Amino acid sequence: MSYFAFLAEHGSTLLLGTVTTIKVLVCSTILYLIISMIFGLMRLSKNSVIQGIATVYIEFFRGTSLLVQLFWVYYVLPFFGLSLEAFVAGVVALGMNFGAYGAEIVRGGILAVPKGQWEAAHALNFSPAKRIKRIIIPQIFPIILPPAANLTVELLKATALVALVTVVDLTFEAKQINSITWLSAQCFGTALLIYYIIARFALVPFLRWLEVLAARKVGR
C-alpha cells in the first residue's frame, strides 16, 4: 500500500483525532493559565497558610509523574464517588500538572517586576488588589510569555498522554489504525508529522506573535 493510499483511507480519521488533540490543548491551556495565576499569586502571599497550600500543591504536582496523575484522576477518583468523563479527566490532569509549573513562572515574573513599581503604586495609595491588577499583572506578560510559550509546547506534547485514558485524540487514532493495519511506520510517522506541524507552524508562531504584542503593550 502506497503512502498516498494510506492517507486516502485513514487521513480523515487522523484529522478527526487531531481536532480532539487541539480541543484538549485549548481547554487545558486555559485551565493551566488560570491555575498558574492563582497559585503563583498564592505562593507570594504573606499569609503563611495560603503560601503553604500553594507550595504543597506545586511540589506535589511537579514531584509526581503526569501519567500517574492522569491515571489517578481517571481510575482512582471514581473510588471516591467522582467519575469524570475521559476528556474532562485528561484536561483536569493536564491543567493541574502544568498549572504547577506555570505557577512558578508567574511567581518569577512577579518578582522580576522592578520594586519601584510596587512602591509607586503604594505611594499613589492604590489598594492591594488594584496594585496587582492594574500595575503588576500587565507588566509580567512580557517576562512570563517566553517561558510560558515553552511550557505550552510541552503541553501540546503532553496531550498525547490522554490517549491512554481512552480520549480519542490523534495518538489514540494512530494506535487504533496501527492495531488494525500494522502499518506502523505510516501511522506513527504521520502522527509525529502532524504534531510537528502543529507545534512548528501554528503554535510557536502564534506564541511568538503574542510575545511581540505583549512587549509592545508595555512599550518595549
Partner 1 sequence: MEMGFKWDFAYEILPQMLWATLNTIIAAGVGYVIALVVGLFFLLGQRTPYKIVNVINRELVEFIRSTPLLIQLFFVYFVLPQFGIKLSAWLCGMITIGLHFGTYLSEVYRGALEGVSKTQWEACRALNFSTIYTYRRIVLPQAFPIAIPGMGNYLVGIFKDTPLLSTIGVAELFHAATAVGGYHYRYLEPYTMVGIIFLILSIPAAMWVRNLEKRVNVAQGKAKQ
Among positive and negative, which fits the CA dihedral 141, 147, 153, 158?
negative
Those residues with Cβ within 8 angstroms of residue 103's Cβ, 6 or more apart along the chain or in another chain: 35, 36, 38, 39, 40, 42, 43, 54, 57, 58
Determine the Cα–Cα distance for residues 156 and 87; give it in Å rounded to an integer: 15
Q: How far is the CB of 146 from partner 1 (least distance, A)?
A: 15
Asked if residue 29 lies in contact with residue 89, where contact means CB atoms within 8 angstroms, the answer is: no
Instruction: Give the three-class secondary structure for 174.
Output: helix
| Cβ distance to partner 1 smaller for residue 23 or 175 | 175
Cα separation values, 76 from 17, 97, 158, Å = 26, 17, 20
Find, among 181, 115, 102, the residue nearest to 145 by Cα.
102
Is residue 67 within a helix (H) or strand (E), and if so which, with residue range? helix 66-71
**Exposure letters 154-165 (e unless 16+ CB within 10 A, then b):** ebbebbbbbbbb
Q: How far is the CB of 11 from partner 1 (least distance, A)?
A: 17
Q: How far is the CB of 128 from partner 1 (least distance, A)?
A: 30
Q: How far is the CB of 69 from partner 1 (least distance, A)?
A: 7
| Cβ distance to partner 1 smaller for residue 102 or 131 | 102
Q: How far is the CB of 80 from partner 1 (least distance, A)?
A: 8
Q: How far is the CB of 23 from partner 1 (least distance, A)?
A: 16
Binding interface with partner 1 (CB under 8 A): 59-60, 62-69, 71-72, 75-76, 79-80, 153, 156-161, 163-164, 171, 174-175, 178, 184-185, 188-189, 191-192, 195-196, 199-200, 204
| Cβ distance to partner 1 smaller for residue 63 or 114 | 63
